[in-house]
Homo-oligomer: A and B are copies of this chain.
Amino acid sequence: MPQPPQLAETAALFADRTRAAFCLALLDGRAWTAGELARHAGVRPSTASEQLSRLIEGGLLTEERQGRHRYVRLAGPEAAGLIEALASYATHASNTQPPQNLRESVRLSAEARARTCYDHLAGRLGVALSDAMIARGLVAAEDGLAVTPDGRTWLADTLGFTRPPGTRRPLVRSCLDWTERRPHLAGALGAALCATALERQWVRRVGSGRAVKVTPEGTEAFQELLGATV
């Protein structure tokens, strides 16, 4: 037996409906309270509390206590990437069934339009922005993803973003979108773009989930800065 224990233990963290629901919810990159997650997953607070403790002990989540609230969030980009990989493979393997009720259907279609995925933008919006950056020559996509020199100046001039030295996080990473089945931009670039978009009100969060909505200012900005029609 080589090192299977670790693999099995890690996988076991996700091998439960409730914990999986927590992880998918937390993919929006924000901090949730224990109660919110319990309601979201449809379990009692006591159950949620126990399962959260397990995820934290497994190193997947970090907690932050404020008063009588327990906020949890994903521990880091690696954890988010792993969940993303699992979810992507899972939906890839077994075709997902259509939603059962109207409320769910509305939520899903809003998320399909535009949403956050951990710390970057996804959905049709995310894919459109990625395509636009590639079309503008800011990112080169042949044989892998790479930021071009043009892209680096664009990042500095437009978003005020320069790569922090000494970090190990890749500047750009491909993240497979599970609604569009197409890759979009993640990594430090994706995170910077998403942060700027939220900060300058190009997009606004709607509801309690991952869905976001493009504002009129956002439509204009994306058109002007990237030539992207969203």
A42 vs chain B, min Cβ distance (A): 7
Complex Cα gap A83–B1 (Å): 16
**Assembly CA distance A127 to B142 (angstroms):** 23
| B146 & A87 in contact (Cβ 8 Å cutoff) | no
- A225 CB–B CB distance under 8 Å: no
Within 8 A of B (CB), among A1-27: 1-17, 19-21, 23-24
In the bound complex, how far is the Cα of B23 from the Cα of A25, in angstroms? 28
Size bracket, chain A contacts? 35 or more
Residues of B within 8 A of A146 (CB): 140, 142-146
Interface check A35, CB cutoff 8 A:
no
Stretch among A61-69, A89-97, A196-204, A216-224 lining the B interface: A89-97
Q: Of B7, B16, B93, which one neighbours A87 at CB under 8 angstroms?
A: B7
- What 0/1 readout, one digit per residue, does chain A (19-55) give for beta carbons within 8 Å of chain B? 1110110000000000000000110000000000000
State the CA gap A109–B15 with chains docked (Å): 32
Are B82 and A89 in contact, CB atoms less than 8 angstroms apart? yes
Cα A171 to Cα B173 in complex, Å, equals 15
Taken residue by residue from 68 to 105, chain A's Cβ proximity to chain B (1 for < 8 Å, 0 otherwise) reads as 00000000001101110111011111101000000000
> Distance in Å from the Cβ of A85 to the closest Cβ of chain B?
5
Interface check A170, CB cutoff 8 A = yes
Flag whether A59 is at the interface (Cβ < 8 A). yes
Supplied contacts A3-B90, A3-B96, A144-B172, 9 more A-B pairs, CB within 8 Å: A2-B24, A4-B20, A4-B41, A8-B16, A9-B90, A11-B11, A58-B93, A82-B89, A144-B170
Binding site for B on A (CB under 8 A): 1-17, 19-21, 23-24, 41-42, 58-59, 78-79, 81-83, 85-87, 89-94, 96, 108, 140, 142-147, 170-173
